Amino acid sequence: MNPQATASARTLQKWTLLGSIFLSLPLFTQTALAAEVSGLLKSQTAFSLQGGGLQQQKWLLDLEYNDALGTGQLTAIGRLRFDTVDDLNPSRSARAESYSSIGGPWLSGKHVDAGLRELYWQYSAESSFWQIGKQQVVWGEADGLKLLDRVNPQSFAEFILDDFDDSRIPLWMINAQFTVAENATLQLLWIPDSSAHELAPEGSVFAFTSPTLVPTPVPGLSPIIDMAKAPGAIFKDSDLGLRFSNFVAGWDYSLNYLYHYVDEPVVRAQILGADLRVTQQYERSHLLGGSASTALGNWIVRTEVAYETDRYHRTQTNLPGVIEADQWSSVIGIDWQGWTDQFVSLQWFQTYIRTDSDDLVRKPRENTLTFLWESSFFNETLSAKWLQIHSIDHGDGIFRPRLSYNYASNVDIYIAADLFYGDQAQLFGQFDHADRISIGLNWGF
């Protein structure tokens, strides 16, 4: 059989397998087993405020199956994503390169993604808890931006507009937690899945263009770009994580360590005659840090720090140059819930690159503020939300107002806006053309 026919046969097998799973899941509810099947359907339609017309028409279906398996519990979640407009993802051909040999969706096309989102078996013993399979692990106390929450990579198909639970990419791993004292837990992670961030492809609305993230083209040279490929050796390229958490004197705190491949590839270049050879490679880093939080009456104080070794940072040279330097990150957050149905949160993020170089594209020290206000009305059937992220050093950011209505116990409808501002050379300002208004619904069943 020729390679093209083999590829077609494999594609047909995937479609058949996927269809069988999605069609057969509801049938389990008719059995006498103690199985549970549930689902969540999300729909969002986004209208561009610049060019007019539709920017997005997305449908997201999650089907979850739970059942006893041996002495534990099995959970399987399948996901089907469909976008009729597809302006956010005009091409998915390079997407597979960011996934390891055991990760990634079963099917990925121009208008549809489908696959096994999560599949894990969990078991509780007297002093331990085990969760084995494809899953998410959330670390840290920060909201909106990530410091310690680096275990799972993220999809940036919509930059950071998606909920983290939806944009986080589950990984195959062994997640073991042990009770070592009355309030103390030790978590161990072995992650053989080295899948990395999924970036929006070139030409899409949320493709990165800022020089802080993307190398500037060199005039007169033809670029030859080698795509980054996620490390593939299951044992040699595994990530390892360790987290100790405890509750002492009114404080919840954690100490975290992660030995991992950073999920953004390092871009390097060299001149070969009239060509510019651009290579992309994932590099290892040690992440050490911790988090702490406490309640003081109506106030909650949160803090988080992270120290990362062997990070690579873009330089201002014509070639896609980088320098290696360690990086500190920190956040201090204050939450207030003094009035009924009101919640206010303020966070101050700071990053610091440990280098004396004056050739960095970004500043060695940068500060970001986030402000969140949430309120509910009419017996919590109507809720309003306002989120702003603002860069103090560059003056760019985003406003995200949202109004939601609980139409039924399992149905929410909403209208929201994503409004970027600032210099187009900066992180948020690069999407100033992507402002949008969205309407949508979430239906659980």
Residues 268-323: tens digit of each pLDDT: 888 887 788 888 999 999 999 999 999 999 999 999 999 999 999 988 876 778 99
**Which amino acid does the sequence have at 112?**
V
The pLDDT-based confidence of 93 (bands split at 50, 70, 90) is low
Q: Please compute the mean of the pLDDT values over residues 103-126 and round it to a whole number.
A: 89
- In the chain, the largest separation of any two C-alpha atoms, in whole Å, equals 71
Q: Residue 108: pLDDT above 70?
A: yes
* Predicted local distance difference test score (pLDDT) of residue 89: 59
366 DSSP β-pair partners: 351
Q: Compute the distance between CA of residue 218 and CA of residue 334 in angstroms, rounded to an integer.
A: 45
Q: Are 397 and 422 in contact (CB under 8 A)?
A: yes
Q: Compute the distance between CA of residue 166 and CA of residue 106 in angstroms, rounded to an integer.
A: 17
pLDDT digits (tens, 9 = 90+) for 67-79: 999 999 999 999 9
The pLDDT-based confidence of 220 (bands split at 50, 70, 90) is confident
Residue 183: how many CB atoms within 10 A of its CB?
A: 11
Q: Residue 1: pLDDT above 50?
A: no
* Predicted local distance difference test score (pLDDT) of residue 431: 97
| Least confident among 42-46, 224-228, 316-320 | 316-320
* Predicted local distance difference test score (pLDDT) of residue 94: 56
Is residue 26 within a helix (H) or strand (E), and if so which, with residue range? none
* Predicted local distance difference test score (pLDDT) of residue 219: 77
Q: Are 259 and 240 in contact (CB under 8 A)?
A: yes
Of 268 and 138, the one with more pLDDT: 138
* Predicted local distance difference test score (pLDDT) of residue 7: 41
Q: Please compute the mean of the pLDDT values over residues 106-112 and round it to a whole number.
A: 80
Q: Which of 91, 3, 85 is nearest to 48 (CA)?
A: 85
Of 332 and 21, the one with more pLDDT: 332
Distances (CA, A) of 306 to 153, 171, 288, 327: 17, 22, 6, 8
Q: Please compute the mean of the pLDDT values over residues 8-25 and round it to a whole number.
A: 42
Q: Please compute the mean of the pLDDT values over residues 327-337 and round it to a whole number.
A: 97
Q: Please compute the mean of the pLDDT values over residues 181-209 and round it to a whole number.
A: 92
* Predicted local distance difference test score (pLDDT) of residue 278: 86
Q: Residue 22: pLDDT above 50?
A: no
* Predicted local distance difference test score (pLDDT) of residue 91: 53
What residues contact 43, with CB distance under 8 A and at least 6 apart? Answer: 58, 59, 60, 440, 441
What residues contact 362, with CB distance under 8 A and at least 6 apart? Answer: 212, 313, 314, 353
Q: Radius of gyration of the chain from Cα atoms?
A: 23
Q: Please compute the mean of the pLDDT values over residues 409-434 and round it to a whole number.
A: 96
Of 349 and 105, the one with more pLDDT: 349
**Which amino acid does the sequence have at 76?**
A
* Predicted local distance difference test score (pLDDT) of residue 334: 97
The pLDDT-based confidence of 105 (bands split at 50, 70, 90) is confident
Q: Compute the distance between CA of residue 140 and CA of residue 350 in angstroms, rounded to an integer.
A: 15
Q: Residue 143: pLDDT above 50?
A: yes
Q: Residue 86: pLDDT above 90?
A: no
Q: Are 82 and 112 in contact (CB under 8 A)?
A: yes
* Residues, the chain: 445
* Predicted local distance difference test score (pLDDT) of residue 24: 44
* Predicted local distance difference test score (pLDDT) of residue 106: 84
Q: Residue 6: pLDDT above 80?
A: no
Decide the pairing of beta strands 284-296 and 222-225.
unpaired
Return the structure tokens found at 133. Answer: 């399979």
Q: Are 438 and 45 in contact (CB under 8 A)?
A: yes
pTM of the model as a whole: 0.88
Alpha helices for 49-112 (secondary structure H): none
Give the strand order in the sheet containing 266-272: 222-225, 275-281, 266-272
Q: Residue 33: pLDDT above 60?
A: no
The pLDDT-based confidence of 15 (bands split at 50, 70, 90) is very low
* Predicted local distance difference test score (pLDDT) of residue 203: 79
Q: Residue 440: pLDDT above 50?
A: yes
What residues contact 360, with CB distance under 8 A and at least 6 apart? Answer: 313, 314, 315, 316, 323, 353
* Predicted local distance difference test score (pLDDT) of residue 34: 66
Vertex 315: Cα angle to 270 and 313 (nearest 5): 100
The pLDDT-based confidence of 95 (bands split at 50, 70, 90) is low
* Predicted local distance difference test score (pLDDT) of residue 90: 55
For 204-266, the DSSP string reads STT----TTTSPPPPTT-EEEEPPP-----TTTT-EEEEEEEEEETTEEEEEEEEEEE-SSPE
Round the average pLDDT of the chain to a whole number and report it.
88
Q: Compute the distance between CA of residue 168 and CA of residue 188 in angstroms, rounded to an integer.
A: 20
Q: Which of 143, 134, 157 is nearest to 60 (CA)?
A: 157
442 DSSP β-pair partners: 42, 412
Q: Please compute the mean of the pLDDT values over residues 396-401 and round it to a whole number.
A: 98
The pLDDT-based confidence of 201 (bands split at 50, 70, 90) is confident
